[in-house]
Amino acid sequence: MRYYPLLFLLTVVAACNNSQTGEPAVKDSVVQTTTDSSAKYIHSFTDTTLENRITAALMQLTFVQKSDKYIDSFSNHKHGIAFLMDKPDAQEPDVAVQAGYNGDERFETYYRFFVNPKTLEIKVYDVAEDKKLTLSEYLKTLK
């Protein structure tokens, strides 16, 4: 029992190896990158006329206008609602659009739309139901 404090003291002294070898520490091989920003986002939707028509149609929706005002208010009048569009393809003939806040670090999606490029019919993707809703069906879910 008398030897326990002595054994503890020797263990502490041995663990505190304070010798320096004189070699510099090896630098980390991970390159530090800057944060993602909207200026660095590369987006190519080739049909700008269609993109402008879709954006104008979506901005007519009252709930999109409210979100635009909300984003404008908390960003000190620097940003409004942003839209990211994907080209239609064989599997999805509609234009997929994400609407939300494009911040310095990430894009925060508020809504997902599917817009028919010929008729500009808008459908809203409901995450809870995992299906596309027409505007009238979606507006009923808001009440």
How does pLDDT run across 17-32, given as a tens digit for each residue?
A: 666 666 776 676 666 5
The residue assigned the tokens 């925060």 is: 108
Q: What stretches of the chain show up as alpha helix (H) in DSSP?
A: 3-15, 48-59, 62-74, 135-142
Mean pLDDT for the stretch of residues 102-111: 91
Of residues 62, 71, 72, 132, the one with CA closest to residue 97: 132
Q: Is the pTM of this model over 0.85?
A: no
* Residues linked to residue 114 through DSSP beta bridges, in sequence order: 96, 123
- Count CB neighbours of 8 within 10 A: 10
pLDDT digits (tens, 9 = 90+) for 31-89: 655 554 444 444 556 778 899 999 999 999 999 999 999 999 988 888 899 999 988 88
| Domain map (residue ranges) of the chain | 38-142
